[in-house]
Structure 1
């Protein structure tokens, strides 16, 4: 199993504004969409790589993967029919550094990706980012009424360790609801 080297403080500081390559392919079951890359992820080149991010344990505990993946294995998700992108491409220390305008433009860019790649489901990981990017101020976690270019839209909590509202077991429960819906689709 591949592992990641720990970046230096200087490398992390230099990653401000960097972008990452999407893990994406046509006709995925689920395209997971983070808010934006962390500086840590931008340095190491793998999604959800920052220590403390609970994306990978949540995927495993919810049943999306049969074992705990390491962030260095993010491209292996494609073999399972899953991909990863972000609402905003720019890496920051925290998502709070993003402007409303960046999120709105990111929502438009994300809709274009969905149109191009046609995933069955778009899972946006962050209720606040979804509300802003798509002008849905009253949206709640779970399946949304609208679709984006025929993709089911599902909003899930942000798995960042900074999100204290959801513990790992709670994240796994709401991610599992998505998995069950995708299996039925």
Structure 2
């Protein structure tokens, strides 16, 4: 590969990153409704055609932000899960970390789970970033648990419900610990799982 071509690819990757970062910052500051290609082009100081040379539209930008979010979520969950490796405590730590992530990064969480994208969940085309996040949930259960992936899906689904309902004010925040305790108690001791 020529030096000029390598430089162009580096510059393209930098522009791509700049657009994704600007979209996320704008969404965090003003909400996803404020993220338009016109506003992004102004913010990154490139023309809209340059922006479209990287992304087909807003949905593709949201998808790029979401995939970055899954990398961040995976790292956040892994730190929590491995800090206290006991079976029950690692599940509880992961659950807390998940809800913390959703509460502290609402615009990013919306990109990952609420906004329309082509990201496929539980599918042959599921991106590596999402598979890594799911693996953190699965890691909370023993390998000899025949239902560990199903259990991980149910736990993740329950946490997502808690995150969305809490963020919208539809369930009271003061009962969050009781909900988490109930969830951990039910699933940490599921048949074939590693009970403490």
Band of TM-score, shorter chain: 0.3 to 0.5
* TM, length-normalised to structure 2: 0.32
The higher radius of gyration belongs to 2
Could you say which structure has the higher strand fraction? 1
Higher relative contact order (CA 8 A, sep 6+): 1
Could you say which structure has the higher helix fraction? 2
* TM, length-normalised to structure 1: 0.33
